Structure 1
Amino acid sequence: MSKQSLIGEITEAVVRFQNATDRVDAAAASALGVNRTDLLCIGLLLRSGGLTAGQLAVEAGLSPAATTAAIERLEGFGYAVRTKDDADRRRVLVTATPLVAGRVEKLYGPVRPSGTAVLSRYTRAELETIHRFLVQGEELQDREAKRIRGQSV
């Protein structure tokens, strides 16, 4: 197989992987009773340990109004709380609740050992290449999202 053909195969595999990831996330959002935006916010809150509304808006790529609506929905489900920041009492932090942390772990927890088993089949050099590809791919996707947001069709 030529290098160009292999690049084409990899490109198609990435698209299929992204679609499969979307199917998992759609199933998880449905199980949690939230929409995909809310699921994104839950993930960001869990990974960060807490964000201000402004930080959440930037990380999720949402407008301030959409962020406020998402926070209110998550609070309504018992999935997020707003608390005063200990470091700056004027700031309000949004954090995920233990309820949603437990539910997310139940849904996504089994993925970790399965993914580890797949990755364990690769050599260290292959894993370094995969890691580099994923980091560079994330940067590419972020640049493309920014480019697309700046366009009107």
Structure 2
Amino acid sequence: MTSAVQELQDATDLIDELAARRLGVNRTDLRCLSRLTARGPLTASELAAAAGLTGGATTTAIDRLERAGLAVRVRDTADRRRVLVHLTEQGRTAVEEIWGPIAAEAQTELLRFSVAELELIETFLRRALHNQARHADRLRKGSDEI
């Protein structure tokens, strides 16, 4: 089981590397693009928190995403003091072209499982995510303790 998880992580890492290369961005920018895809428009500080970045690193990533035509800063119509980062149409198209077929095939595979099996898979994934987040915090802090 552990080797299957490691192989999945490696395969995901390869897709991310190839996607970043195809889009002309780096992996940090790709992580920001992922958060914008998953959560919709975010302020720079919300994006920083979601991507686990400093404010300065996030500003630089947003600048690169804008130069690549994948994201744009837009004043919030409800609160003119706020600026939200939105995916552009080009950004949405690129995400769909790269990850759309992967998601469609994954959806087809998931349909093979019963509701009980899907609940078990979801439990495992949520626990694995929690584990990864804890260890990311540990590594960020430079500590050996979790």
**TM-score interval, normalised by the smaller of the two chains:** over 0.9
Are 2:51 and 1:74 equivalent residues in the alignment? no
Identical amino acids, percent of aligned pairs: 49
Q: TM-score, normalised by structure 1?
A: 0.88
Structure 1: tracts of 5 or more residues without a match: 1-9
Greater shift, 70-79 or 122-131, is seen at: 122-131
For the pair 1:49 / 2:44, whether they are aligned, the reply is no
Does residue 18 in structure 1 map to residue 9 in structure 2?
A: yes
1:120 pairs with 90, 111, 114, which one? 111
* Alignment: residue pair count: 144
Tell me the alpha carbon deviations over residues 21-78 of structure 1, each in whole angstroms, 9 at most, x when there is no partner.
1111111111111111111111111222211111111111111111111011111111
C-alpha separation between the residues in 2 aligned to 1:152 and 1:128?
Answer: 34
Unaligned residue ranges in structure 2 (runs of 5+): none
Matching residue of 1:97: 88
Letter paired with 2:31? L
Tell me how large the CA RMSD over aligned residues is.
1.4
Write the letter of the residue equivalent to 2:76: D
1:65 to 52, 56, 67: 56
**Corresponding residue for 2:131?**
140
